[in-house]
Amino acid sequence: MSAVPKQGITVVKGACPHDCPDTCALEVQVEDGVAVKVLGSAAHAPTAGVLCTKVARYTERTYHPERLLYPLKRVGRKGEGRFERIGWDEALAGIANRLGPIAAENPEQIVPYSYAGTMGLVQGESMAQRFFHRLGASLLDRSICAAAGSAGHSLTLGSRIGVDVEIADRAKLIVFWGSNAITSSVHFWARAQAAKRAGATLVAIDPYRSLTAEKCHIHVAPLPGTDGALALGLMHVLIRDGLIDRDYVARHTLGYEALAQRAAAYDPGRVAAICAVPREQIESLARLYGTTGPALIRVNYGMQRARGGAMATRNIACLPALVGAFRDAAGGLFLSTSGNFSLDETALTRPDLLTGRRPRTVNMSTIGAALEAATPPIRALIVYNSNPVAVAPASARVARGFAREDLFTVVLEHFQTDTADYADIVLPATTQLEHLDVIKPYGHYYLVANNPAIQPLGEAKPNTEIFRGLARAMGFADPCFADTDETIARCAVRGSWDFDAVRRVGWQRIGPPIGTARFAEGGFDTPSGKVEFHSEQARAAGLDPLPDYIPPSEDTRGALAARYPLAMISPPARHFLNSTFVNVRSLRAVEGEPWLDIHPDDASARGIVDGSQVRIFNDRGSLTLRARITDRARVGVVVALSVWWKKLTPDGRNANELTSDETLTDLGNAPTFYDCLVEVETTA
Ligand code: SF4
């Protein structure tokens, strides 16, 4: 919460860069050139001056004794983590000398690998992609997190323009579907708490009794990957019991009759068997949803990490239209608000630099397989804003790929991560306190600017400056490589906004006035302008045009369950954000060590006692964790909160040792992290 700073302290306006929907506006207190405190800005309406515990300790991360401050060259074996300091000139010239001949042979052999280590539009994919486009490098399918849900949402509702968080407290029913908001959307949770105090009912749908589920009135715990069936069961009851807003359906939806026929096949008895939840719970939840308004579904990406992840999102997105929840500004669906903003990708990333070339696309979700067998082979990898050796599925395969002696790897980083250990050259990047940026949120409607608060530490440089340097070293003279960070920020988003004003104020709201019910009269960004229960786009893509249920690729009802009967999920630990913050000692201390949550019945069937070491395994690998016996994990499901750095765990492994890259989601080419059957045994 912002406070009056003491004398001699300057306050610099900033923005949280992390992969979190909330994009908090920051106030960084600086004394004698040192950032002494990072606070939330109380005047920023959607986040109201409250930071999560992770970013409240941002100075601890920025001034961490293990910050990378100089370029490094590997002197040990790949993965061993032995490096020596070199100068920037040597680093850039060395990289250019390696990339030049590879590019001359075939630039597609060079692959960028990046994701949302920063959400900044400047330090994310601007100068970096300009560099790779000019080079003619492979393109990257950035599919690892949100691609399936986004694709499913797009088929039914079009762009993701979720309910405005600022009025979520007016809802009378809030359903958290695959969303542990206390961990991953804390400001939405604050609004839900306000709604609860005003009499709203809160429901959680999650296989795990998360912190959020624990505080909701109702918790439904389906088996992982069965959410699509649950949504169909709810539709069945709504239609059967006449709880449909017929006027809204008639005017603003497409394909209702066909949907009703499809949903008829998903009676609560069948759905209860698929999801392993009581039939009565499906009946009563549907009646509650059909009779309470405004009703808001806060769906998050947890439920789309399964083979049918896009379909499940499509199905859930049908529900608000059936009951007319979109009539109210506080009703409807909230997956993301990113569709509220129109990025100028062309100006940011300059695809014209490809000059007509059409490089292949490498899917980041299968990077291990690509490193093993892509044609042409991947000979150079440049990693920024990501830590694939820890976060990508099928981790052992990923690590094997990174360990290839013939692979040249460059990593831009703040810390010596699991991935940086495999680099040939490590380049020190600045943190958010040290560079300029502008952030497009996905949990509210405000662009937020980030001013540099302190000078870069050591010899760290912003990503933009590193790629400018690489462009110079490669001899690229195109004028766009001379663009300043300010120039890039100004062109990042289309529409009426002023970067200089945003820098000064801290943020600018984009979009309609608060309280506008954007879809009360339809106007969806789909081909028909309606909610598409029936999707011709899906049919054209060879998919089922209607909602249906796609079982998990590893199903607790299938043959594989004879050997691996437990479904493992690995949602975010509260004090980590993906793999960021794991090395911040005070935050890791709160998490303690990596645990496996297991239900008392599953534990006793295996002779597992609380606190003992257990081995979790499947055909892809194994890891050892300490068992925590708790009914937070439902029967048949084990939970490994993530994403731990492998080298900071007792056995040097994390949950991605067990996740698969063999089956991708039905749309979006995304990983099926939660289609993961395992067995657990005591090591005693
Ligand atoms: S991680 Fe999220 S909640 Fe935490 S400070 Fe950043 S935007 Fe706010």
Please give the share of the chain, as a percent, with pLDDT higher than 70.
99
* Rounded distance from Cα 85 to ligand 1 centre (Å): 33
Reported as a pLDDT band with limits 50, 70 and 90, residue 5 is confident
Place of tokens 């968080």: 165
pLDDT given at position 14: 98
Contact between 83 and 76 under an 8 Å Cβ cutoff? The reply is yes
Tell me whether strands 253-254 and 531-532 are parallel, antiparallel or unpaired. Answer: parallel
Ligand 1 atom with minimal separation from the 443 CA: 7
**Which residue has the CA at smallest separation from atom 3 of ligand 1?**
52
**Which residue has the CA at smallest separation from atom 8 of ligand 1?**
24
pLDDT given at position 4: 66
Please give the share of the chain, as a percent, with pLDDT higher than 90.
98
- Written in H, E and C, the secondary structure of 504-552 is HHCEEECCCCCCCCCCCCCCCCCCCCCEECCCHHHHHCCCCCCCCCCCC
CB within 8 Å of 638: residues ≥ 6 apart: 566, 567, 568, 569, 596, 597, 598, 602, 616, 678, 680
Ligand 1 atom with minimal separation from the 19 CA: 1
409-460 confidence digits (pLDDT tens): 999 999 999 999 999 999 999 999 999 999 999 999 999 999 999 999 999 9
136-149 confidence digits (pLDDT tens): 999 999 999 999 99
* Rounded distance from Cα 503 to ligand 1 centre (Å): 19
Query: Residue 6, by phi and psi: left (phi above 0), alpha (psi -120 to 50) or beta?
Result: beta
Reported as a pLDDT band with limits 50, 70 and 90, residue 1 is low
Reported as a pLDDT band with limits 50, 70 and 90, residue 382 is very high
Q: Which of 41, 44, 54 to mutate to test the pocket of ligand 1 (most atoms within 8 A of CB)?
A: 54
158-170 confidence digits (pLDDT tens): 999 999 999 999 9
Ligand 1 atom with minimal separation from the 52 CA: 4
* Rounded distance from Cα 667 to ligand 1 centre (Å): 29
187-217 confidence digits (pLDDT tens): 999 999 999 999 999 999 999 999 999 999 9
CB within 8 Å of 283: residues ≥ 6 apart: 237, 268
CB within 8 Å of 481: residues ≥ 6 apart: 127, 130, 131, 134, 467, 468, 471, 472
Reduced to 3 states (helix: H, G, I; strand: E, B; else coil), residue 92 is helix
**Which residue has the CA at smallest separation from atom 7 of ligand 1?**
23
pLDDT given at position 6: 79
- Give dist(CA 499, CA 235) in Å, integer: 45
pLDDT given at position 114: 98
2, pLDDT greater than 60: no
* Rounded distance from Cα 22 to ligand 1 centre (Å): 6
Q: Which of 1, 2, 18, 580 to mutate to test the pocket of ligand 1 (most atoms within 8 A of CB)?
A: 18
- Give dist(CA 242, CA 18) in Å, integer: 44
* Rounded distance from Cα 55 to ligand 1 centre (Å): 6
pLDDT given at position 367: 98
Q: Which of 22, 53, 185, 448 to mutate to test the pocket of ligand 1 (most atoms within 8 A of CB)?
A: 22
Average pLDDT over residues 549-557: 97
Q: Which of 19, 20, 579 to mutate to test the pocket of ligand 1 (most atoms within 8 A of CB)?
A: 20
* Rounded distance from Cα 26 to ligand 1 centre (Å): 10
Nearest CA to 531 among 255, 259, 247? Answer: 255
Beta-sheet strand order (sheet of 9-15): 9-15, 25-31, 34-40
CB within 8 Å of 469: residues ≥ 6 apart: 88, 92, 461
In angstroms, what CA-CA distances link 322 with 185, 227, 333, 650?
26, 18, 12, 50
Of all helices (H) and strands (E), which one includes residue 450? strand 446-450
Reported as a pLDDT band with limits 50, 70 and 90, residue 324 is very high
**Which residue has the CA at smallest separation from atom 6 of ligand 1?**
16
* Rounded distance from Cα 48 to ligand 1 centre (Å): 12
* Rounded distance from Cα 641 to ligand 1 centre (Å): 19
Ligand 1 atom with minimal separation from the 56 CA: 5
Output the ligand 1 site: residues, CB below 6 A.
16, 18, 20, 22-24, 51-52, 54-55, 186, 577
E-strand ranges in 159-304 read: 173-177, 201-205, 218-220, 253-254, 295-299
Q: Which two tokens stand for residue 289?
A: 């949803």
Ligand 1 atom with minimal separation from the 47 CA: 8
Ligand 1 atom with minimal separation from the 187 CA: 3
- Give dist(CA 538, CA 530) in Å, integer: 15
pLDDT given at position 7: 83
Q: What value does the mean pLDDT of the chain take?
A: 97
Ligand 1 atom with minimal separation from the 441 CA: 7
* Rounded distance from Cα 150 to ligand 1 centre (Å): 21
* Rounded distance from Cα 62 to ligand 1 centre (Å): 16
pLDDT given at position 679: 98
In angstroms, what CA-CA distances link 433 with 12, 26, 33, 55?
9, 10, 11, 12
CA-derived radius of gyration, the chain: 25
Nearest CA to 301 among 334, 274, 325, 331? Answer: 334
461-489 confidence digits (pLDDT tens): 999 999 999 999 999 999 999 999 999 99
* Rounded distance from Cα 578 to ligand 1 centre (Å): 13
* Rounded distance from Cα 52 to ligand 1 centre (Å): 5
- Give dist(CA 442, CA 437) in Å, integer: 16
684, pLDDT greater than 90: no
Q: Which of 119, 186, 580, 581 to mutate to test the pocket of ligand 1 (most atoms within 8 A of CB)?
A: 186
Sign of CA dihedral 166, 26, 338, 437: positive
Ligand 1 atom with minimal separation from the 55 CA: 5
In angstroms, what CA-CA distances link 386 with 79, 130, 345, 419, 579?
16, 18, 20, 8, 9
Reduced to 3 states (helix: H, G, I; strand: E, B; else coil), residue 622 is strand
569-614 confidence digits (pLDDT tens): 999 999 999 999 999 999 999 999 999 999 999 999 999 999 999 9
Contact between 639 and 633 under an 8 Å Cβ cutoff? The reply is yes
249-295 confidence digits (pLDDT tens): 999 999 999 999 999 999 999 999 999 999 999 999 999 999 999 99
Q: If you ran DSSP here, which 8-state letter would residue 587 be given? A: H
Q: Which two tokens stand for residue 510?
A: 């984009």
* Rounded distance from Cα 117 to ligand 1 centre (Å): 13
* Rounded distance from Cα 466 to ligand 1 centre (Å): 26
* Rounded distance from Cα 185 to ligand 1 centre (Å): 8
Ligand 1 atom with minimal separation from the 23 CA: 7
**Which residue has the CA at smallest separation from atom 4 of ligand 1?**
52
383-408 confidence digits (pLDDT tens): 999 999 999 999 999 999 999 999 99
3, pLDDT greater than 80: no
